[in-house]
């Protein structure tokens, strides 16, 4: 299946099985048949990319100058924790222990679409993030508009 830009949207609840796997939402299983790249997200979540999306993201990060400490940290955050994985026949993917620990993933997760990638959140952390988004929606919109 050819991935269309901004095709990841919506949110779904899922359970982490005893082996540390999650089942991807049905509509995304085919997209990730060619592999999936998982790494740390900025807000204590796990980010999931298709290999092509990862290549685009990684190219941007790799182009950052190493002369700045923030850029080196960005590289460390993104690359040192990245895993290239395959989904199984049921469309499940193993969440590596280090990423589960980083994102404080428990037994329940929320998979949230972010346009061109997915975020995997611990359920309780997502509830908190959602509450913040609801409370700050107007301010977020105003700030976003200022940066256009």
Question: According to the model, what pLDDT value does residue 145 have?
Answer: 55
137-145 contacts: CB < 8 A, separation 24 or more? none
pLDDT tens figures, 9-62: 899 999 999 999 999 988 888 889 899 999 999 999 999 999 999 999 999 999
What are the two backbone dihedrals, phi and then psi, of residue 92, each rounded to the nearest 5 degrees? Answer: -95, 150
Higher-scoring residue by pLDDT: 127, 139: 127
Position 3 pLDDT exceeds 60:
no
Provide the residue ranges of all domains of the chain, joining segments of one domain with +.
11-122
Whether the CB-CB separation of 54 and 41 falls below 8 Å is answered with no
Strands of the sheet with 11-15, listed across from one edge? 11-15, 108-113, 118-122, 46-49, 36-40, 83-85
* pLDDT, tens digit (0-9, with 9 covering 90-100), for 77-119: 999 999 999 999 999 999 999 999 999 999 999 999 999 899 9
Which of 113, 109, 110, 46 lies closest to 83 in space, CA to CA?
A: 46
Highest mean pLDDT out of 27-31, 98-102, 138-142, 143-147: 98-102
Q: Is the pLDDT of residue 2 over 60?
A: no
C-alpha 4/C-alpha 8 separation (Å) is 9
Q: Are 38 and 50 in contact (CB under 8 A)?
A: no
Options 3.40.50.720, 3.40.720.10, 3.60.20.40, 3.40.1550.20; CATH for 11-122 is 3.40.1550.20
54: how many CB neighbours lie within 10 A of its CB? 21
Judged on CB neighbours under 10 Å (0-12, 13-18, 19+), 62 is exposed
């Amino acid at each position: 299946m050819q991935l269309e830009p901004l095709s990841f949207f919506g949110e779904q609840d899922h359970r982490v099985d005893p082996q540390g796997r999650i089942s991807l939402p049905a509509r995304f299983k085919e997209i990730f048949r060619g592999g999936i790249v998982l790494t740390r997200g900025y807000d204590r979540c796990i980010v999931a990319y298709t290999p092509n999306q990862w290549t685009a993201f990684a190219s941007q990060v790799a182009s950052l100058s190493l002369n700045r400490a923030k850029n080196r940290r960005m590289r460390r955050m993104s690359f040192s924790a990245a895993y290239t994985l395959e989904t199984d026949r049921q469309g499940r993917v193993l969440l590596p222990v280090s990423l589960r620990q980083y994102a404080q993933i428990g037994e329940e997760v929320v998979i949230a679409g972010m346009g061109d990638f997915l975020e995997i959140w611990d359920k309780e952390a997502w509830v908190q993030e959602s509450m913040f988004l609801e409370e700050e929606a107007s301010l977020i919109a105003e700030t976003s508009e200022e940066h256009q």
